A = this chain, B = another copy of it.
Amino acid sequence: MAAVSAGTVSKALNGGGQLRAETRQRVLEAARQLGFQPNTLARSLLRGRTYTVGLLTSDSFGRFSIPLMQGIEDALGAGQLAVFLCDARGDAVREQHYLRTLLSRRVDGIIVTGRRADTRAPLSQDPLPVVYAYTKSAAPEDLSVVPDDVQGGRLATEHLLAAGRRHLAHVTGPTRFEAVLERANGMRAALAAAGLEVARDHVLTGSWSEAWGREAATELLDGDRHIDGIFCGSDQIARGVADALRERGVRVPEDIALVGYDNWEVIAAATRPPLTTVDMNLEGLGQAAADHLLAMIGGMRASGIVRLPCRLVIRSSSGVSSLRDWPASGTPPA
């Protein structure tokens, strides 16, 4: 249609060689009229790269996977990489199946994500670039990107201290989660820096549920402990705490200030009062993981555990709007 040789078409479409502008234009116009699409597959075979990445979730797509995926997809899409979705659902056999599939499809790299930022077995010993996001590989030669849960716990606690609270409790999830231990350590570090500590019977561990939050709040109130702030290990727990406190006539934040963890919008924003909470910035974490993977694919190998900072999202439950009142009002109410 353009009345030129195949070699000239190739030069025109791939931008190489020396062609007159008019000739290139004629070829491009003919390609447009014919609805020609470059064949990425053929290009991949020639260049030895597929510009595809596998996203392997070791757990089902859940609350935490969504913002992670958005971040990953954003960072890779900008680099023109396409993402293969693989949901292993915590099943080792499925994971192996997906790994074989991704290898046979010659992906340039793989991102492995988890549900909670705990340690997991490495994927396998292969030369492919792999980054672990929101999960930690047990192999020291691997690269993992996780939220800094110690810093997150510190952030929540410093906020409660800044709001004038001195008698803090911690209601959190099961101790088998590394995040539970790290967030509590962050809380202790912030208190220690202020010359304070959290009493042993002010740290209650249970399940990641509203019901546990209600139960723990009741236990704290019945125990007649002097408490003016509660840091919760999740928004679901914090919501349960908020409900139980309200139903016992305890005002949040006037009597007890409350900080959650996760910034799970549907929970945090619907809590009465809306929750101040720690946001792990999972979308940014996904972007960072993707950027690390791109660097690896480009030949920059790295290893270790990268911890990214959390940030605090301030709503009403922590009484920060009355922050200026605290220094003047002396001892906060209990």
Once the chains bind, are B40 and A106 in contact (CB under 8 Å)?
yes
Q: How many residues of A contact B (CB 8 A)?
A: 43
Question: CA of A63 to CA of B65 in the docked complex: distance in angstroms?
Answer: 11
Once the chains bind, are B105 and A41 in contact (CB under 8 Å)?
yes
Once the chains bind, are B40 and A210 in contact (CB under 8 Å)?
no
Once the chains bind, are B85 and A69 in contact (CB under 8 Å)?
yes
Once the chains bind, are B80 and A211 in contact (CB under 8 Å)?
no
Nearest B residue to A63, CB-CB: B266
Stoichiometry, copies per complex: 2
> How many whole Å from A179's CB to the nearest CB in chain B?
18
Residue of B42, B65, B66, B87 near A73 (CB, 8 A) is: B87
Nearest B residue to A107, CB-CB: B82
Once the chains bind, are A41 and B45 in contact (CB under 8 Å)?
yes
Nearest B residue to A83, CB-CB: B85
* Residues in B neighbouring A84, C-beta threshold 8 A: 52, 82-85
* Residues in B neighbouring A73, C-beta threshold 8 A: 85-87
Question: CA of A77 to CA of B266 in the docked complex: distance in angstroms?
Answer: 31
User: A residues near B, CB below 8 A?
Assistant: 37-42, 44-45, 50, 52, 55, 60-63, 65-66, 69-70, 73, 77, 80, 82-87, 98, 100-101, 103-106, 209-211, 236, 239, 266-267, 270
Query: Could you jot down 30 A-B contacts, CB within 8 Å?
Result: A37-B100, A37-B103, A37-B104, A37-B106, A38-B104, A39-B45, A40-B106, A41-B45, A41-B50, A41-B105, A41-B106, A42-B45, A52-B84, A60-B66, A60-B70, A61-B61, A61-B66, A63-B266, A65-B66, A66-B66, A69-B87, A70-B87, A82-B101, A82-B105, A83-B85, A84-B85, A211-B270, A236-B270, A239-B270, A266-B266
